[in-house]
Amino acid sequence: MKKLEQFRGKHVLILGLAKSGEAAAKLLHKYGAIITVNDAKPYAENEQAKNLEGMGMRVVCGHHPVELLDRSFDYLVKNPGIPYTNPIVQEATNRGLPVITEVEISSLISDAEIIAITGSNGKTTTTTLVYEMLKNSLKTPHLAGNIGTVSCEVAEQLTEQDIMVLEVSSFQLLGTVEFKPKVSVLLNLFDAHLDYHGTKDEYIKAKSKITVNQDGNDYFVFNADDYEVAKVAQSSQATLVPFSTKKECDGLYIKDQMIYFKNDKLISLEEVVLPGAHNVENILAAIGASILLGANQEQIKHVLKTFTGVEHRLQFVEEFEGRRFYNDSKATNILATKKALEAFKQPIVLLAGGLDRGNEFTELKDALMNVHVLVAFGETKDKLAEAARDAGVQSIVFAEFMEDAVSLAFEQSNRGDVILLSPACASWDQYKTFEERGNRFVDAVRNVICK
């Protein structure tokens, strides 16, 4: 296993704990780094910090004092969620101190080949598809990154007989220097996280770091239909593997309702059970990345014939009295809800609403044409109702809680309808996470069925 010798005896500041900060601190401490942990949570309430202090690390809690940097650190390992506008991060950058994330550490220690997947939408679905497709191949796949387990925890355990299937965000990628996956995937680029990155150009620059260190022995799987993604591909030094749902290309594409890879037929779209036109892009990307690292084609076909989606991402829940219920709680922005609505040809009863970030919902108008009932909830319910009226939605009702929303949706629905939770908003006005919101929806659906 590769060792982190470059950190031995070095002074490292871990800024922000949560899962990634704690994992990075423990790993670097194990390989001889001198660790200082700085976390905003007060010490009295901070069990993570207390545990790390008990292991011999210095901890500073309750705030982020810029004066910490006077201790002459060699590295700053930043929790991805902490913005670069944070004063201590800005000062570290001004002093020329390397600011990295734990994804960088995982790439330095891993003996396994890495498939790294990013994009504005579809990362988790694509990452899960790749993981499933690589099962029963010569090497063993392991999920890591945003999808679950912190990447440096996984990387330490892997050998050359493994593959790390890694979902990475722009926040994580921005803090990389030597990160070099064997296969990188860029799905799409939309306006996202501009409050963090400042401009779309900076956001794209962060995403493009997934391929910046690759060479001709590596592969860059990219969406040839996305103009911004195609521009990133032009500057990549990796072997390019495009995918397209609109045209034939030297990679993965659709022709006569068949999926092709390099002119070889793989499977008919009719056999694929995962709903949604946007998921065809995710499927093409996953097939390409999997084949490049030795996936068995029979396993790929099996996955496509059986995989119905990731929890909270256009997840099929139940069918009851001719209605099909779908949980798309991860749709925390307008674009994601548009894609969900476009995934169905059936009439839709839409449950939507949540945290008000100042957005208007006029962009949803065209996508609402197939919605005959809107059940609106949360801070944005009135704005969503206005957009629905403009779109000609026949029935608009309001709900306070998810249980009420699901009951109203069922009462207003007809046989053959899709009842879809796709909020177009973050969950934080009522729920701690989109997962909690989605779980409440699933529970409410099952309560309706059991009445």
Mean residue pLDDT of the chain comes to 93
**Strand order, beta sheet including 264-268:** 140-145, 162-167, 113-118, 183-186, 219-223, 239-244, 252-255, 258-261, 264-268
Angstrom distance (rounded) from CA 319 to CA 133: 27
Scored b (16 or more CB within 10 A) or e, 150-179 reads bbbbbbbebeeebbbbbbbbbbbbbbbeeb
* Residue 47 structure tokens: 């069990």
* Residue 320 structure tokens: 């009851």
123 touches 178 (CB < 8 A): no
- Out of 118-127, 146-155, 280-289, 405-414, least confident range: 146-155
* Selected residue with higher pLDDT from 199 and 249: 249
The confidence score (pLDDT) of residue 274 equals 87
96 is in an annotated binding site: no
Record the pTM. 0.81
Which residues, at least 6 apart from 368, have a Cβ–Cβ distance to it below 8 Å?
Answer: 341, 350, 374, 387, 388, 391, 392, 393
pLDDT of 186 > 70? The answer is: yes
**3-state SS class at 274:** coil
pLDDT of 377 > 90? The answer is: yes
- Phi first, then psi: give them for residue 354, nearest 5 degrees: 155, -145
Percent of the chain with pLDDT over 90: 80
The confidence score (pLDDT) of residue 4 equals 78
The confidence score (pLDDT) of residue 263 equals 87
124 is in an annotated binding site: yes
Question: Looking up tokens 């501009």, which residue turns up?
Answer: 194
**3-state SS class at 20:** helix
Scored b (16 or more CB within 10 A) or e, 370-387 reads bbbbbbbbbbbbebbbeb
93 is in an annotated binding site: no
Using only the alpha carbons of the chain, give its radius of gyration: 23
pLDDT of 97 > 80? The answer is: yes
The confidence score (pLDDT) of residue 6 equals 86
Angstrom distance (rounded) from CA 438 to CA 436: 5
pLDDT of 148 > 80? The answer is: no
| Domains of the chain as residue ranges with CATH | 9-100 (3.40.50.720), 103-306 (3.40.1190.10), 315-450 (3.90.190.20)
119 is in an annotated binding site: yes
pLDDT of 192 > 80? The answer is: no
125 is in an annotated binding site: yes
pLDDT of 1 > 60? The answer is: no
The confidence score (pLDDT) of residue 309 equals 82
Q: Please give the single-letter amino acid code of residue 119.
A: G
Which whole number is the average pLDDT over 3-26?
91
pLDDT of 194 > 90? The answer is: no
The confidence score (pLDDT) of residue 314 equals 87
pLDDT-derived band at 239 (thresholds 50, 70, 90) equals: very high
